[in-house]
Chain A
Amino acid sequence: MLLRLHQIDKFYPTGEGPLHVLNGIDLSLEAGKSLALTGESGSGKSTLLHLVAGLDSPDAGEIHLGGTNIVGLNDTALAALRRATVGLVFQQFNLIPSLDVAANLAFQARLAGRPDPAWLKVLAKRLGLAQVLTRYPEQLSAGQQQRVAIGRTLAARPRLVLADEPTGNLDEATGDAVLDLMLSLVAETGAALLMVTHSNRLANRLNARVHLHAGRLV
């Protein structure tokens, strides 16, 4: 099992006392599989994704990633995890504005110590970015930007790809095209995919789905 969550609890402090965002979540995902995480706004699905990515830590429970419980790891270890094991695709603001497309694409792979120019070339071609490699992020369309983000994530060959509404900022046609690309490329690299979405339509295209409601899986 690549990813296993056990009895995850997460509270957010609010004006009216702590808010129980995640309540006893158990979840697992095998390598090479994809899982959709759906739910309404505020149901805690993004929080869950952030916990898995090591961007945030739970108040209780365990998260086993590749056999290691990442809960309680220090900042440096978590950073290493993000660098080498997981890849993140967000709704927006994925890219480093001061670097051009080529540098953005290569950034994480180089950071992870796994530069692979040949694979990058393939990715750029597959993602239709070969013509825009010298451009800067804000010179790209939203769809192109998201493709760069996907490419950058996959360039590092992470074992787990985490995507948070990756097409949420795109119109439906562009979104579908981008999602298709992502799914097929993830499948080709053999990575697992955990994707947060509020759309049933998109969720149905993944291997499996779980629904989050008021902090509990239903």
Chain B
Amino acid sequence: MVWTGLTALLSHWRRRPVQLAMLLLGLSLATALWSAVQAINGEARASYDRAAAILGQDRLAQLVREDGARMDQQVFVRLRRAGWLVSPVIEGEMRFGDVRLRVLGIDPLTLPPQAQQVNVAVGDELLPFITAPGVLYAAPETATRLTEQATPPVRVAEGLPPGTVLTDIGQAQVLLGAKDKISRLLLWPDQPIGRAPLKVTAPGLTLRQPSETGDLARLTDSFHLNLTAFGFLAFAVGLFIVHSAIGLAFEQRRQVFRTLRALGLPARVLVLLLIAELLIFALLAGLVGVALGYVVASALLPDVAATLRGLYGADVPGTLSIRPAVWAAGLAIAVIGTLVAAAQSLWRLWHLPLLAAAQPRAWARASERALRAQGVAAMVLLLTAAGIAQFGSGLEAGFALLAALLLGAALALPLVLTGILQLGGRLVRGPLAEWFWADTRQQLPGLSLALMALLLALAANVGVSTMVSSFRLTFTGWLDQRLAAELYVTARTEAEATAIHDWLAQRSDAVLPIWSVEGRVAGQPAAIYGVADHATYRDNWPILSAVPEVWDRIAAGDGALINEQLARRQELGLGDQITLPGGWRASIVGVYSDYGNPIGQVIIGIDTLVQHYPDVSRLRYAIRIAPGKAEALAAGLRAQFGLPAQNVIDQAGIKVFSLKVFERTFRVTAALNVLTLGVAGLAMFASLMTLSGMRLPQLAPVWAMGLTRRHLAWLELSRGLLLAALTMLAAVPVGIALAFVLLAVVNVEAFGWRLPMHLFPGDWARLAALALLAAGLAAAAPAWRLARLSPSDLLKVFAHER
């Protein structure tokens, strides 16, 4: 009986392949977008984990200096001679040609077994590894990037994070220009007895416990949360399609349900059969969806990887690996999504008498009660959003605010549209117009889910594009301020740097050092830059707030400028004291904007920098010269010192590069936005198809009273467009609110900077056109079907009970 029942239920789909396709498509798309985001995040996180796990940092405690600065390698020998089993590591960033890499230097002889994920320097490889020029071990992808560059010999080692090369500590010290320095010490888990106390042997070092997540994972958290939020939005929008398709299938199979029940199939079994049917579809669509998700993800991943590298210095491979977790999660979300989407239909089937005929107006009136409840929920959510905006803090609160705002707006939409349609109905004259508005209002309950989906998609579009465009505008202006110098030169050695400086002294207006050291400020990774006392900074630097005579204070050596993100994260303000690497303290005299930089930054006078950090690498300079002479000077500089092209960059070059990074950062968001909009269009199409089946009894009397089918079809099309247009109107304020939250809350929490908002109505017009196009396409098919309907199909309405 069960099998017979299932066959009868499934036969429906054989006769309606388009409907089945719609159901599966909706579910697949929803799953695909979700899985794509999951796959991307998974790939990125796996690579952070690899980075965090390298050298066993996730399992081994380490000894570090509190300020994050490098220590003398004699500390290592002293600790070993005192009985401590430690192994030295040096790390740093460096460029090979135009490839920037993280260099990790290890001592293979003392490396704890827990730190040896990568088989390096085995057997005969040890001698070349520890003697000049050394050997670089790199992941296959990294090794490929290095093929064109002048480097020590490169060997491929699986399991290394991308963008990282592993080499002997001695070679790394040479490469990084840090003779006899080490960054940290790995602590063996088992230590011998009778060791000298740590405080005596190595004062100034602190023990850092193994940490599962590295700085990278923390820094990029907000980025991934962002992606996840979008994936979830896309998934929710996709579910609207599924909901419509399932609703239609249930409506159309009323007769079959009734027959099956009459034949003695218990309601419980019927519901279970339908759930089984849905599960089959969910798994099928889930598999397709995850596969599709991988396609989307691999299309997006290069941009994501570029973003992560540009924005956070995080290296993520450009290719995806297949992760079982993504498949499992994808299938699970497909199943859960299907059941959620079907819940209403199943509930109705369970509770409503089977013999009741379809009564659209009764349904509409029932949903008027639902509408009121929805309105209350919307109010509560919007008030919650306001509350969070007022009192909340943190990134999570930011996203909660976004969720409450979007959901509240979506729930309020049917109410708002009802009001507008009511008003419209009152304003128009003529029986057809009145009917058109009244009937449109009556269609609302059936379409509201799709319209809510459309609202979400449109609002997200408006919000994100406003945010991105505002950001772009601010960013471009900021680049102009920040990149005031005409040329930037990087020497290859300190001797060359000195020579370049002397050579430039007579040929340019000013040669300004760009020297920096890395370390920890207030427990966070940060860079400390020294600046010369020069008009370049006095006139251009993008200061947000500062004490009077700020540049005099910097030059005098008793003040420090910090970037906005450091100020916000550590709640530092003018006049506060900060402790800088090396343990000396400076007073904050100003805060400046520093977009696109994930870590903290401190600016002090160049003399102060050299005084506190005599080992600072002195390789980079900014050059001031009349813009017209810059190109000739750059050419001369390259010729004179044989510098590679990328070591002398002009202002425009850096700007182009920065803007490229910027654009790539938001390309993923834009792609997800467009996909979401597409899915919303599909949701609308599915809903309209669903409704068109139930529309005939409402349209037939009008037709019988003297309207042609073509006329009716045009009205149906106009109805879709009207609703889309109204939804777009509603989406604009929601989108602006969204943009505001993104700019003023989420960005501040995620990146540490706040941006002014700019509005771009032109973008909205384009989006509105797109939305109308989508709605028009969605409404076209049902309208076309109506125009071509045979009269006998319409006449059947009057002849039979449906």
Contacts and interface: CB of A to CB of B under 8 A. Distances in A.
A96 B361 CA distance: 10
A110 B791 contact: no
Contacts of A94: 701, 798
B61 interface: no
Given A50-B795, A55-B791, A56-B792, A108 B697 contact: no
A91 B798 contact: yes
Given A55-B791, A80-B706, A90 B435 contact: no
A111 B704 CA distance: 12
Interface string B783-802: 00000000110110111010
Given A99-B434, A107-B431, A93 B359 contact: no
B441 interface: yes
B432 interface: yes
B361 A136 contact: yes
Nearest to A86: B706
A166 B707 CA distance: 22
A37 to B, nearest CB: 15
A83 interface: yes
B585 interface: no
A137 interface: yes
Contact of B797 (A93, A103, A108): A93
Nearest to A100: B438
Contacts of A120: none
A108 B706 contact: yes
B359 A138 contact: yes
Contact of B795 (A56, A76, A107): A56
A50 B797 CA distance: 13
Contacts of A112: 706
Interface in B282-333: none
A84 interface: yes
A78 B438 CA distance: 26
Interface in B676-716: 697-698, 700-702, 704-711
Interface residues of B, number: 35
A154 interface: no
A91 B800 CA distance: 9
B798 A92 contact: yes
A55 B705 contact: no
A112 B365 CA distance: 30
A53 interface: yes
Interface in B353-408: 359-362, 365
B639 to A, nearest CB: 81
A95 B430 contact: no
A93 B700 contact: yes
Interface in A83-127: 83-84, 88, 90-99, 103, 106-108, 110-112
Contacts of B801: 92
Interface in A36-63: 46, 50, 53, 55-56
A159 interface: no
Nearest to B799: A46
Nearest to B432: A111
A176 interface: no
A162 to B, nearest CB: 10
B358 to A, nearest CB: 11
Contacts of B706: 79-84, 108, 111-112
Contacts of B435: 96, 98-99, 103, 107
B438 A103 contact: yes
Contacts of B701: 93-96
Contacts of A108: 705-706
B359 to A, nearest CB: 6
Contacts of B362: 138
Contact of A98 (B698, B707, B708, B792): B698
B442 interface: yes
Nearest to B707: A79
A75 interface: yes
A55 B430 contact: no
A164 B430 CA distance: 28
Given A82-B705, A82-B706, A93-B701, A98 B798 contact: no
Contacts of B795: 46, 50, 55-56
B430 A110 contact: yes
B631 interface: no
A210 B797 CA distance: 26
B439 interface: yes
- Which of B432, B701, B794 is the most central at the interface, judged by chain A CB atoms within 10 Å of its CB? B701
A88 B795 CA distance: 12
Interface in A138-172: 138, 164
Interface in A13-36: none
Nearest to A77: B708
Contacts of A50: 791, 795
B438 A75 contact: no
A171 B658 CA distance: 81
Nearest to B360: A97
Interface in A179-207: none
A78 B708 CA distance: 8
A75 B710 contact: yes
A93 B697 contact: yes
A98 B711 contact: no
B698 A96 contact: yes
Nearest to B429: A110
A123 B476 CA distance: 73
B687 to A, nearest CB: 18
B702 A93 contact: no
A163 to B, nearest CB: 11
A106 B697 contact: no
A98 B438 contact: yes
Contacts of B697: 93, 97
Contacts of A111: 431-432, 705-707
Nearest to A56: B791
A73 to B, nearest CB: 12
A102 to B, nearest CB: 11
Interface string B405-432: 0000000000000000000000000111
Given A96-B435, A99-B434, A164-B798, A79 B708 contact: yes
A134 B45 CA distance: 63
Contacts of B698: 96-98
A53 B438 contact: no
Interface in B759-802: 791-792, 794-795, 797-799, 801
Nearest to A138: B361
B773 to A, nearest CB: 27
Interface string B435-453: 1001101100000000000
A196 to B, nearest CB: 11
Nearest to B439: A98
A164 B705 CA distance: 14
Nearest to A55: B791
Contacts of B705: 82-83, 88, 107-108, 111
B699 to A, nearest CB: 9
Contacts of A91: 798-799
A107 to B, nearest CB: 5
B362 to A, nearest CB: 6
Nearest to B437: A98
- Which of B700, B791, B798 is the most central at the interface, judged by chain A CB atoms within 10 Å of its CB? B798
A81 B705 CA distance: 9
Contacts of A84: 706
A95 B438 CA distance: 14
A75 B709 CA distance: 8
Nearest to B794: A55
Given A55-B794, A93-B701, A98-B435, 19 more contacts: A53-B704, A55-B704, A56-B795, A75-B710, A91-B799, A94-B701, A94-B798, A96-B435, A96-B439, A96-B701, A97-B442, A99-B435, A103-B431, A103-B434, A108-B706, A110-B431, A111-B432, A136-B361, A136-B365
7 contacts: A79-B707, A80-B706, A82-B705, A83-B705, A97-B360, A138-B359, A138-B362
Q: Which 7 A-B pairs have the closest CB atoms?
A: A83-B706, A110-B431, A82-B706, A98-B442, A90-B798, A98-B438, A97-B361
